[in-house]
Structure 1
Amino acid sequence: MAESKIKRSEEITNQYFAFLDKHIEDVVNGQFDDFLKLNQIAQELYVSHTHLSDTIQQTTGHHPCHFYDLKIVNKAKSLLVDSDLSIAEIAKKLTYDPSNFGKFFKKFTGQTAGEFRKDYKK
């Protein structure tokens, strides 16, 4: 029986997603002051920035930043639902100025963080 072998592009994509999950947690927990830039993440994964971008784009159809932002939004959603932190505190935990965070959140969800929290708690 032949071993199923994961393609290198899938391996890089999986490593990128796993790295993002851990890195976002580390930022929220105060272990990092800010989010790493894509070129820094590529270095951590031992690939070039271009190779990382091209690989994620080819395997998923989206630029790596798309998933980075989505994962940050998903973390924000979980903090809005599972914590009593104010929206400003959540913004700061995610390294955003509260006014910029509001725009960022609404761009991805179609509603403000306050509306999201209120709708969820209904």
Structure 2
Amino acid sequence: MDIIKLDTIETYCKTFDFRLTHPLVAVVECNEPEKLKPYMMNWGFYALFLKDMASCTITYGKTHYDHGDKSIIAFAPGQVCAFEAIPGKDPKFVGVLFHPDFIHGTSLGQKIMNYSFFAYSSNEALHLSPSEFQVIKHLIAIIQTELSTEIDSYTHNLLCDNIQLLLDYCVRFYDRQFTERKELNKDILIRFENLLNDYLINGKAEKQGIPTVNYFADQICLSPNYFGDLVKRETGKSVKEYLQQKLLDVAKEQLLDPQKSITQVSNLLGYQYPQHFIRFFKRMTGNTPNEFRLGI
């Protein structure tokens, strides 16, 4: 399958025969089967699609995007994904597209990295209730109306403000979705803890290095951002903080064994150089590993 490089919104509109009303921001609607054929896309801008029905499968690598009726899917610059229509179902969606250049120097530009759902690259779309669907649909309609209005000194700020409002509502609705999936989230945390124990205790860290967010997200088949948000919501700690605390706990336990040298403990935890482990331990506890052993 060929990759279509979508550097600009103009390229997107030309490729899929949508009308271009602004070079850096657009609202597009699709209700026709010929609009959505198998494609591999490399995004060069932000895109958020509101789907009224499940009409295609979306794949990142070997992982299918989990989405269905009344859902939102989002893409960020640099992402690559494949689209393939579901036989017998016509695509029906409305999308908001905006280029990074459009939001430079704005409040939205400063906040854009906080919208972590743009990097939920596997398994997790936002599934909407009927009332949430209407809210999102209404906000997109406001953006569409603004784009069809003659450009004046207010246009840019109003478009940015309404896109930001749309994204803020997505964050709110994702919070609701996380809450509804609390039992599933607990199962994921248990699996994470078991994987982490295995990694640190059974010698994997010594071979593969310090545990990382990406490693465990991949093991659990979630995107790093979604996995990080899940852990943060359930534990109050970022995955990085969670991993550091676990490293510290295991380090303390290993340091209590007088037969193991500082270098051996360092290697067991995945540190390439003992001095890096010593700095980590002192930053976390205020003491060096030797001081900890001596009870200082």
**TM superposition score category, shorter chain reference:** 0.7 to 0.9
Question: Which among 68, 84, 107 is matched to residue 283 of structure 2?
Answer: 107
CA RMSD of aligned residues (A): 2.0
* 1:77 counterpart letter in structure 2: K
* 1:72–1:119 Cα change, 3 Å: same
- CA offset digits 1:32-81 (Å, max 9, x no partner): 33234211211111222111100000011110111111111111111110
Secondary structure of the equivalent of 1:7? helix
Question: What residue in structure 2 maps to residue 84 of structure 1?
Answer: 259
Runs of at least 5 residues in structure 2 that lack an aligned partner in the other structure: 1-181
CA contact (8 A) 1:38 1:49 kept: yes
Structure whose alpha-carbon radius of gyration is higher: 2
- Aligned equivalents of 1:54, 1:60: Cα separation in 2: 10
Question: Which among 237, 246, 251 is matched to residue 71 of structure 1?
Answer: 246
- CA offset digits 1:71-101 (Å, max 9, x no partner): 1111111111024111122112222211111
The structure, 1 or 2, with the larger RCO (C-alpha pairs under 8 Å, 6+ apart) is: 1
- Aligned equivalents of 2:212, 2:281: Cα separation in 1: 19
TM-score, with normalisation over the residues of structure 2? 0.36
1:1-122 alignment runs, 5 A limit: 7-27=183-203, 30=206, 32-96=207-271, 97-119=273-295
* 1:22–1:16 Cα change, 3 Å: same
Q: CA deviation at 1:27?
A: 2.8
* 1:94 counterpart letter in structure 2: L
Q: Aligned pairs, how many?
A: 114
More helix, by proportion: 1
Secondary structure of the equivalent of 1:62? coil
CA contact (8 A) 1:73 1:105 kept: yes
Q: CA deviation at 1:29?
A: 8.0
Question: Identity percentage over the alignment?
Answer: 25
- Aligned equivalents of 1:63, 1:73: Cα separation in 2: 15
Over 2 Å off, 4+ runs = 26-30
* 1:48–1:28 Cα change, 3 Å: closer
Runs of at least 5 residues in structure 1 that lack an aligned partner in the other structure: 1-5
Larger mean CA deviation between 21-30 and 80-89 belongs to 21-30
TM-score, with normalisation over the residues of structure 1? 0.82
